[in-house]
Chains A and B, each alone.
Chain A
């Protein structure tokens, strides 16, 4: 089989290596086919430098109209297939038009790259960063090689982080107060809280807390919202009576959360909500959603 593959292989192989590739942290990334692979991780305004090696196969000569490397920050809307919005696009010309006969290595460097947005893999939208090497040719098509990399941006702990406290209820039927210790949580945080029951006239069976992610995307004039429940965590089993207070302690680390994204390039937003759900014996659900902000602290990349 090898020789067959050989036959359809591009005329050369292109490899992209970051200069600090051995030491740089790599984090898993999910690909479209479901596999995960490790990709290098960068931060905003980092220097992205490395080497690109082009090796023609078996002494072939490659005639080209130039070699360039691009750093692209793209937003891909699944509902608007094929449409990439490049919010970042940097180009470095590596070679003038000519021929490549042998293995050639081009160093490259993008310094202080503005990468304001984090890599994001959502339901309807994807934000990715990619290095794109193009060997332009007149015939046979250009030879292009991509290398995905990730960008995480860290936030300092918020200076103001008030608790969420709210009384809700149905008149003469249910009256509760819930309290979550913060409104902003980092990815490995733990939500501590309490639910107070002031009045319970319905027969509650369980109480859960859910973490819901709301991804809203803008394609043209239409606005699309997709909500996922990432976590469903049982807080209470059975029917409480008035005066009870039920503790909440939810560790966020087991769940695949991302930081909250607000209006990324006017294309999409990702928001998180805590949803408190009470289910009564008839299966009726009573719930109350509260938005929380999720942020990434440094060194929370796995």
Chain B
């Protein structure tokens, strides 16, 4: 059915073109032989093809363009005809004898054009007559095209300022009047199109209507090109008349298109100077008109205008552009209660962009906009509309982009209030945007108040906002966002320790509510940030003024202790343990023995109570050993307790190789190179021997369990420890011990049950090579090595 319709239309168009061409042919012949009578007859017949109602606007346009070309030739002919002595007045009458109105009016416009050119009558009279006579075509499509033809032929003949058609009687006022009238009539026809034909084809019709909109808009374009329209005239005549038509036509499509047209075709400074009038029209538009887009474009244009030159800024101030726009938006929202929230936000978003561009110094304006937005959002649930939330993100991002500085945005008291209306997901997105802005611009946020405000903004990332239900959050996304929070925490810095401490406390306050999933991400950066502060303080004279309140490492450690403790509860014992150890080390550097001890105790408790996974235990024990080895603050007693414990833990690991490695690692606890009081060779040897025993046991176990001895790697590793302590001068490590160990290894390697392990072989070989090398190097070490036979 539809396909048929299209086919039929093609047929009709073809028939129309054929008819047109045929008559055009006869018309040409008449033109060639200067036969006016026939020329008129055939041109009228040719134009009769345009009387069709069967074509869609698109196809009709095709036909029209062909007729248009022919009419140009006819116009030339008329011009020559007048040169040959035919009176233009007679010609003007003659064409009006045509019985059919449409051909008659096309001919009249064509002759009219020549008439104006001849200057035998004032241009305004001819124009007025033409535009008036065209009322005879009430059919929308035909009328639009006819009037479009009129607009086209009259374009270069308007009595504009500086035009040859300007005269005493013809002024730019007449030109404007003419164009306005044609515009008005065209718009009426255009609007009327929607009521033509059956309702079921409404959609198709609306589409066709949209195709024709440029015919109407062209008039506005012509108006914008009239030189003589100065600001006064624009203000007094042009704009009010155009707006009157726009408002009165009460048609959604037309209002949207035309408002946009006005904004686009007329100069920015005119808009600025007529903001009242222009904006006054918006609340009067149909409630379904997409005002937000149009208004946004206006603001966008004005923003760009403001950006174009600093010279124009005073104009903006003078006309109070901001408050006018703000009021207008308020009114539009008021009269369009059905406007979706998306529209509201888009409007405010544009306004915000505008004010940021035009009044970057007026933060209060920006805040005002946000405030208005909040007011509009209040009483509503969190936003569900995806687009609306997206728009809010854009709204909130605008100040960040503009100022490149979150600090400025933090001054906007309404900023967080707007954020509250976002759903948790978008809230997160926004928070991420904020964080990214901070990181991109390396913004320094150096007071606790601002940190407080900032965390208020990004609380979507800091804690679960709606505890009602959790969407399945993508693990990677979650990590990503928490990592960004972590980075943010690292960025917070103040050179003033007091302030820094406050910042830390603030951050802590916020992140502690983050729940088990977030704490592992957020606590470490806070801890390290605090430790950084500790290191900073550590270099200074402590408490130079003896003030009670001043920040001391002790205080910080107290906070840290509590902070890290939270991790153990969630539970993230491994992480907590690591952090405790870090703290302990810092305390060590501050010479705070009890504190360090406390941290170690915590770590040990965690180890004992929480870390049950054997692999985790291995990692933990090595960390403990490593940290403990570096501690120098402990007294003998404390140290003994701790080392003893550590050794104990080591021996209780599940797997023998792990035991072995932990135990030989413990040997370092008794021999610290730069600490003279920790050089207990005996206990070192004890550890190593014990390690050997365990290695041996491991070997046997393996033998028993698998029928083959394990690798000799452990022995080689222990040998390396021996060599280390040997070089360090531990008297308990003797050449003989080393020698026997080497032999042991060699034997093991050559025993039948040994498994082939190239890595171990290589390891051993390198070790031996090392010893050889040390020997050859000579010197004290070389001498030491000398007795060892390899």
Contact = CB atoms under 8 A, between A and B. Distances in A.
Given A237-B137, A237-B143, A238-B139, 5 more contacts: A238-B137, A238-B140, A240-B138, A244-B135, A246-B136
B156 interface: no
Interface stretch (B92-100, B730-738, B780-788): B92-100
Interface string A224-246: 00000001111111111100111
B135 A237 contact: no
A232 B99 contact: yes
Contacts of B143: 237-238
A233 B138 contact: no
Interface in A179-235: 204, 231-235
Contacts of A245: 135
A251 B196 CA distance: 32
A247 interface: yes
Interface residues of B, number: 22
Interface in B135-187: 135-140, 142-143
Contact of B135 (A232, A234, A239, A246): A246
Contacts of A240: 138
Interface of B: 51, 93, 96-97, 99-102, 104, 132-133, 135-140, 142-143, 188, 192, 196
B142 A237 contact: yes
Nearest to A197: B138
A214 B83 CA distance: 43
Contacts of B135: 244-247
Nearest to B103: A234
A82 interface: no
Contacts of B101: 234-237
A34 interface: no
B97 A237 contact: no
A24 interface: no
B136 A251 contact: no
A254 B41 CA distance: 14
Most buried by A among B132, B133, B136: B136
A103 interface: no
A237 B99 contact: no
Contacts, number: 55
B102 A237 contact: yes
A246 to B, nearest CB: 6
A253 B132 CA distance: 22
Contact of A247 (B100, B136, B142): B136
B138 A238 contact: yes
A241 B251 CA distance: 15
A237 B142 CA distance: 9
Contacts of A233: 99
B138 A237 contact: yes
Contacts of A247: 132-133, 135-136
Nearest to A204: B138
A57 B728 CA distance: 172
23 contacts: A231-B99, A232-B99, A233-B99, A234-B99, A234-B101, A234-B102, A234-B136, A235-B101, A235-B136, A236-B136, A236-B138, A237-B102, A237-B137, A237-B138, A237-B142, A238-B138, A239-B138, A244-B138, A246-B135, A246-B136, A247-B132, A249-B96, A251-B93
A239 B132 contact: no
B196 A239 contact: yes
Contacts of B102: 234, 237
Nearest to A248: B136
Nearest to B105: A237
Interface of A: 204, 231-241, 244-247, 249, 251, 253-254
Contacts of B97: 251, 253-254
A237 B93 contact: no
Contacts of B51: 237
A171 B100 CA distance: 30
Nearest to A203: B196
B49 to A, nearest CB: 14
Contacts of B133: 247, 249
* A-B complex: 9 closest residue pairs judged by Cβ atoms: A238-B139, A238-B138, A234-B101, A240-B138, A254-B97, A237-B137, A236-B136, A234-B100, A237-B139
Nearest to B93: A251
A188 B95 CA distance: 16
A134 to B, nearest CB: 45
Contacts of B138: 204, 236-241, 244, 246
Nearest to B146: A237
Contacts of B192: 241
Given A232-B99, A233-B99, A238 B142 contact: yes
B554 to A, nearest CB: 89
Nearest to B189: A238
A234 B137 CA distance: 10
Nearest to A231: B99
A248 B692 CA distance: 122
A141 to B, nearest CB: 48
A251 B139 contact: no
Interface centre among A204, A231, A239, A245 (most CB of B within 10 A): A239
Which of B96, B102, B188 neighbours the largest number of chain A CB atoms within 10 Å of its CB?
A: B96
A245 B188 CA distance: 13
Contacts of A246: 135-136, 138
A237 B96 CA distance: 15
A239 B137 CA distance: 9
A235 B104 CA distance: 10
A244 B184 CA distance: 12
Contacts of A251: 93, 96-97
A236, A237, A241, A254 — most chain B CB neighbours (10 Å)? A237
A150 to B, nearest CB: 25
Contacts of A235: 101, 136
Contacts of B96: 249, 251
A239 B142 CA distance: 12
A244 B132 CA distance: 12
Tell which of B51, B97, B101 has the most Cβ of chain A within 10 Å. B101
Contacts of A204: 138
A189 to B, nearest CB: 12
A199 to B, nearest CB: 15
